[in-house]
Amino acid sequence: MNENKMMRQMGAIFSAFMVFFYLGIGIYLIFFFDTSLTTLEKPVLVIFGSVCIFYGLYRAYATYVNIVNLFFKPDDDE
């Protein structure tokens, strides 16, 4: 395995962790964040949380496609 493919695989795994981060932040902001701790109103937190969730879902799809191509498809450079 060449180093370039190994680095892309490590990037794909990191991207999978970031999917959970964005989804977690979005869910936390919408459902669990205490609004008495900030000057932001609840609608602003819901909008930002929704954006995080939608971006996390987009990133999950892109990461899935990337992982399938990197880990489960044969190498063409042989």
What is residue 35's predicted lDDT score, i.e. its pLDDT?
86
What is residue 1's predicted lDDT score, i.e. its pLDDT?
56
Residues 21-59: pLDDT tens digits? 999 999 999 999 998 888 989 999 999 999 999 999 999
Amino acid at 58: Y
Q: How many domains would you assign to the chain?
A: 1
Q: Is residue 77 part of a domain?
A: no
Residue with tokens 């008495």: 36
14 and 51 in contact (C-beta within 8 Å)?
no
Q: Is residue 10 part of a domain?
A: yes
Q: Is residue 36 part of a domain?
A: yes
Residues 9-29: pLDDT tens digits? 999 999 999 999 999 999 999
Kindly report the pTM of this predicted structure.
Answer: 0.85
What range defines the domain where residue 8 resides? Answer: 3-71
Q: Is residue 78 part of a domain?
A: no
